[in-house]
Amino acid sequence: MPSSRPLRADARRNREALLSAARQAFLGGDADAHVEDIARSAGVAVGTLYRHFETREALIEEVYRKEVDDLCAAPGDLLNQHAPEEALRRFLLLLVDHAAVGKGMSVALENIMATDSPVFDDARTRMGDALSRLLDAGSAAGTVRGDVTGPTLLRALGGICAMRVSEGWLDEARQITTLLLDGLRHGAPRAS
Amino acid sequence: MPSSRPLRADARRNREALLSAARQAFLGGDADAHVEDIARSAGVAVGTLYRHFETREALIEEVYRKEVDDLCAAPGDLLNQHAPEEALRRFLLLLVDHAAVGKGMSVALENIMATDSPVFDDARTRMGDALSRLLDAGSAAGTVRGDVTGPTLLRALGGICAMRVSEGWLDEARQITTLLLDGLRHGAPRAS
DNA sequence: CCATAAGGTGAGTCCGGTTCCGTTTACGTG
DNA sequence: CACGTAAACGGAACCGGACTCACCTTATGG
């Protein structure tokens, strides 16, 4: 149902320009850029922006949904090239590094965790599935514990990446992720 | 420098009422309560609110600073009553549960991680110290690995608690925390 | 080319945080 | 127990930023 009519040429162009401008703004530091500015830097008026996106939030959603799309493609490749445990390791760190591209992306992950929006809900599902694939592979290979689900792990990562702090947060995020991995490894001592 | 003059009686009363009303609002779900409402439910006008608090943000800060104060008191007691590892375990879970009181508290922890405000900076320091105390005790007892610092662990927790999501997030937060604890335990398999 | 509906525009509305100043009140003093 | 004064209060007005709407422009298919 997404396309009632194929969308006029200039409309599609403007839509693209808006997404690109917004991406620019959000992925670069400014997490609360004004709609007016985004619209202007895309060469259109606010009205046009609102023709294409229900709300400011909706625009942000769209930008990040694409980002998530990219990320979700990774597990398949990784599982082909590495042992499950290693694939998991790489994917988690990839996620963290990706969040580092701009503080914006971390906001995205955080939002994916926090909102009820159907869009994010969908993204969460796909991301959780991606993680599940990795976890299952590891579990089947006997190198990863089997009692943690993809969605749960996703939450941990969302949380970690939500700490968009100055100086050195990336190193800490990596360290924490490593910690998590150690906990996930099959044979880790259990708490209770 | 905090007190130039001891603050008039009614003023102190109103300040208290405002803090209490705000606490009520934030700790109960509504993370973005309107200042107008907070003021009204404290029985004063907005002007009064702004006499006591520089800004909406400042009010929130104040509310949560107290919350953090309480939390920071815990490690001492726990170390007296339990082995270090167990004390650490309980404190982390206490933290998570505390966040559960209302979604508001989790916002607080998140903010502690994210802002540069001197108030939060201070809170972060004290919280980090509290955790360090626990980690050091465990490390000295040989039951906890020694290469993780309090501040780092705090970030992990801040992240985890930032996931203020509906339904079941508390259980997941607990599980993730347990995961972290398993990773922290001395003798856990290392990643690299 | 024209008709027409899709698309664009930007001044205006709405909303919520913040300010400002006239009024009220606590409280030290004579 | 007045009184004077500085402190506190109230709330209408202000302002910035997201969002709307009535009108204009333009792509497009016949």
Q: Taking the alpha carbons of A49, A53, A58, A62 in that order, is the dihedral positive or negative?
A: negative
What domains can you pick out in chain A, each with its CATH number? 1-53 (1.10.10.60), 61-184 (1.10.357.10)
Question: How sure is the predictor about A103, in pLDDT bands with cuts at 50, 70 and 90?
Answer: low
Give the protein-side footprint of strand D (Cβ within 7 Å): A 8-10, 32, 34-36, 46-47, 50, 55-57; B 5, 7-8, 10-11, 13-14, 43-48, 50-52
Determine whether the distance from the CB of A18 to the nearest atom of strand C is below 7 Å: no
pLDDT value at residue A44? 98
Question: Is residue A17 within 8 Å of residue A44, measured between CB atoms?
Answer: yes
Is pLDDT above 90 for B31?
Answer: no
Residue A13 distance to chain B (closest CA, Å): 36
Is pLDDT above 70 for A51?
Answer: yes
**Distance from C-alpha of A154 to C-alpha of B160, rounded to nearest angstrom:** 11
In percent, the amount of chain A with pLDDT more than 90 equals 28
User: How many CA atoms are closer than 13 Å to the CA of B22, on its beta-carbon side?
Assistant: 28
pLDDT digits (tens, 9 = 90+) for B67-79: 777 777 788 888 8
pLDDT digits (tens, 9 = 90+) for B90-114: 988 888 777 655 455 555 555 555 5
Is pLDDT above 60 for B47?
Answer: yes
Cross-chain Cβ contact B163/A113 below 8 Å: yes
Number of residues that this document lists for chain A: 192
Interface size, chain A vs chain B, as Cβ–Cβ contacts under 8 Å:
120
pLDDT value at residue A156? 81
Rounded to an integer, the average pLDDT of A113-130 is: 70
- Averaging pLDDT over each range in A103-107, B118-122, B175-179, which range is the top one? B175-179
pLDDT value at residue B2? 46
Cα-flanking dihedrals φ and ψ of residue B159, to 5°? -60, -50
Report CA(B46)–C1'(D20) in Å, whole number.
29
User: Token match 């991301």: residue?
Assistant: A127
In percent, the amount of chain B with pLDDT more than 70 equals 79
pLDDT digits (tens, 9 = 90+) for A138-174: 999 999 999 899 888 887 877 676 655 556 777 888 8
Residue B180 distance to chain A (closest CA, Å): 6
Rounded to an integer, the average pLDDT of A58-75 is: 81
Mark out the alpha helices in chain A (DSSP H runs): 9-27, 35-41, 46-52, 56-81, 84-100, 103-114, 118-141, 150-162, 169-184
**Distance from C-alpha of A186 to C-alpha of B2, rounded to nearest angstrom:** 54
Cross-chain Cβ contact B192/A178 below 8 Å: yes
- Averaging pLDDT over each range in A125-129, A181-185, B92-96, B164-168, which range is the top one? A181-185
- Averaging pLDDT over each range in A32-46, A122-136, B126-140, which range is the top one? A32-46
Question: Is residue B148 within 8 Å of residue B190, measured between CB atoms?
Answer: no
Computed over every residue of chain A, the mean pLDDT equals 81
**Which tokens is A52 given?**
């294409």
pLDDT value at residue A1? 46
**Distance from C-alpha of B103 to C-alpha of B29, rounded to nearest angstrom:** 6
Rounded to an integer, the average pLDDT of A124-130 is: 82
pLDDT value at residue A50? 98
Question: How sure is the predictor about A16, in pLDDT bands with cuts at 50, 70 and 90?
Answer: very high
Q: For residue A160, which residues of chain B lie inside 8 Å, CB to CB?
A: 155-156, 159-160
Report CA(B53)–C1'(C22) in Å, whole number.
22
